[in-house]
Structure 1
Amino acid sequence: MKKLLTALAITLAISGCKTSPTGRTQITLYSDQQMSEMGVASFAQMKEQQPIEADKSTNAYVKCIADHLIDQLPAEYANQQWEVVVFKEPSANAFALPGGKIGVHTGLLEVAKNQHQLAAVMGHEVGHVIAQHANERVSQNSLLQFGLQASNVALQMGDVRYRDAIMQGLGLGAQFGVALPFSRSHESEADVIGLDLMAKAGFDPQGSVALWRNMEAASSERPPEFMSTHPAPNTRIANLQQGMNNALELKQQAWQSGRKPQCK
C-alpha cells in the first residue's frame, strides 16, 4: 500500500513539472483551461458579492495602467480578453486571476499615490498569473492532502500509538515548513516579474520601493515573517533593489520606444 501511494505521488509530480519565468521548478497538476474556469467563476462570484466602483475617472485610471501592463505580457496572455474591475473595498489590495481577470480595491488607491506605485502592485498580481502560481498552490494543496492521508493510512495499518498527535505534528510541519515558505517564494517571484513588467511598460520601477514603504507605514502589526504568507516589507524592498538596475534599463528602453504612460 505504501509503495503504491508513493509511486502514485511520484507519477503525479513528474507529470506536472514545469519551469517558472524565473527558472524555478514547478509542479502544476491542472490544465490552463481548468485554472481559467476557476478564475472566471471566482471573479463572477466576487462581482456578485462586492460593491463595484462606478466612478468613470477611477475606472479609466486603473484600466489605463492595466492596458499598458497587458501590452507587455507574453503573447498568450496579452492576446486574452482581460477584464478589470475596481471594487469599493477599503483594504489596500489588488489581485489577478487566471482567465484574464484583474481586481483593484479602492483602498489601494489611498496607498498607491501615483501610476507608478499602482503599476507595481498590478504588475505583481499579473506576475502571479503568468507564473501560474494559482496552479502551483492548488496542486501543492492537493499533494499535501494526499501525503497527509497516506501518512494517516500508514499509521493506521501499523497500529501506531499516538497517531492523532503525530498527524497534528505532520499538519503543522506541512503548514510552516512547506505551505507558508512556498507562498513567500511566490510573492518574491511575483515581485521580480512585476518589477520587470512595469518597467517594460514604461512605468518607473522605483515606484515599487516607494509603494512598499507606504504599505509598511499604513499597515498594522503583522506576524513574524516565518509565520506569514508574505515577506516582510523590508525583505521585499531589499529584493526589489537587487533587480532595480536592470529594471531601470528596461524603463529607459521603453521610453526610447515611445512607451511612457500618462495614466491620471
Structure 2
Amino acid sequence: MKIKYFLMVAVVALMTACGTTSKVPLTGRTHRISVSDGQLLSLSNQEYAKFMASAKRSTDAKNTAMVQQVGRNLANAVETYLRNNGYANEINNFKWEFNLVQDKQANAFCMPGGKIVVYEGLLPYSQDEAGLAIVLGHEIAHAVAKHSAEQMTTKMNQQVGTNILGTVLNSAVGNGVGDIASQVAGGYFSFRNLKYSRDNESEADYMGLIFAAMAGYDPARAVGFWERMAEGSNSNRSELLSSHPSDARRIQNIKGWLPEAQKYYRDSSSNRVLHTEPSSSSKTTSVRGISNSNRSNKRR
C-alpha cells in the first residue's frame, strides 16, 4: 500500500511540475500552463472556423464597422502595452479578428489568438463605442491572460489526479471504492472550478477596464453597462453556483478599480502611443477577487 501511495504522489508531483510558469500582464498573477501556445492556437482556429461557417454575419454595415474599429483600437493599445512592458514575444500569438453576428443573445466571446465575436443582442446594452470597448476589453483580456490555457491545464491535472486516485484505491481496497472516490473527487473539482472561472472573469473585468482606458475610452462607462446588463438579467442563481461573478459584485469591483483605470485614461488622452505601467508609488496593487500571492497588500 505504501509503495502504491508513494507512486501516486510521485506521479501527481511530476504532473504538476510540468508546464511553464508565467505572469499575467497588468495583474502580475502567476500561473502554470502545460498547454503550448501552438497547440491552443491550432485548436482555437479550428473551432473558430467551424463557428463562423455556421454563424450569420450581421448585415448592419454601421455596427459591423463600429465593432471592427473599436476592436482594432483596443488591439493596438494592448499590443503597445505588451511591447513596452516586457511581453513583446506574446504579440505573435494574436491574429486579431472582430466579427458581429446575427444573434439576439447579449453575449460576446474571444477565442485564444484574438478571434472575437460580438452578438447583435449585446449592442442595446453597450449602446455606443465606449460601452462596446468595455465588452471587447474584457474579451481581449481573456486572451491576453491565457485563461483558456490555464483552465485547460487545471482540468487536465484534475483528471489525471482523479484517475490515479481511483486506480490506487481500487487496487488497494477493492469493492469499487476507487470508482466512488473518483466520482466524489470529480464532483468536488467541478464545484471548485466555478470559483476558478469566477476569478478569471474578475481578472478579465479588471484588465479589460484598463485596456479600454488605454485605448481612449472612458472606463467609467463600465458601471452603466453592467447596470443595464443586471436589469436585463432574469437569473436568480447564487454566485456560488455560477461560473461568473454576480452583476452586483462586478459593479462593486469596477467602482473600486476606476481610480486606477482613470489614470490610464488620462494618459491616453494626451498620448495615444505610449502605454506603460504606472510608477510603483501610484499603481494599484490589489485586485479584488483575483488570487495572487506575489501582490502587495497595499490597497487604495
* TM-score normalised to structure 1 length: 0.91
1:55 to 57, 60, 64: 60
**Mean Cα displacement is larger for which, 167-176 or 154-163?**
154-163
State the distance in 2 between where 1:135 and 1:182 align.
Answer: 13
- Asked if residue 15 in structure 1 is aligned to residue 29 in structure 2, the reply is no
Say which SS state the counterpart of residue 27 (structure 1) adopts: strand
Give CA-to-partner distance per residue, 1:144-194, whole Å, 9 cap, x none. 111111111122012255624433322221111x21110001001011110
Say which SS state the counterpart of residue 77 (structure 2) adopts: coil
The Cα of 1:15 is off from its aligned counterpart by: 2.9
- Asked if residue 86 in structure 1 is aligned to residue 100 in structure 2, the reply is yes
Find the counterpart in structure 2 of residue 41 from structure 1: 46
1:172 to 154, 166, 187: 187
State the distance in 2 between where 1:160 and 1:226 align.
Answer: 35
State the distance in 2 between where 1:195 and 1:203 align.
Answer: 9
- Indicate the RMSD between aligned Cα atoms, in angstroms: 1.8
* Gap regions ≥5 residues in structure 2: 274-300
Give CA-to-partner distance per residue, 1:192-227, whole Å, 9 cap, x none. 110110001010101111111111101112421111
User: What percent of counterpart residues are identical?
Assistant: 29
Listed as ranges, the matches of 1:188-227 within 5 Å are 188-227=202-241
Is the 2:131–2:225 Cα contact (8 Å) retained in structure 1?
yes
The Cα of 1:57 is off from its aligned counterpart by: 1.3
Corresponding residue pairs, total = 258
Is the 1:72–1:78 Cα contact (8 Å) retained in structure 2?
no
**Mean Cα displacement is larger for which, 11-20 or 72-81?**
72-81
1:25 to 27, 30, 44: 30
* TM-score normalised to structure 2 length: 0.81
State the distance in 2 between where 1:221 and 1:150 align.
Answer: 38
Find the counterpart in structure 2 of residue 262 from structure 1: none
* Gap regions ≥5 residues in structure 1: 260-264
- Relative to structure 1, is the Cα distance of residues 7 and 129 closer, same or farther in structure 2, using a 3 angstrom cutoff? same
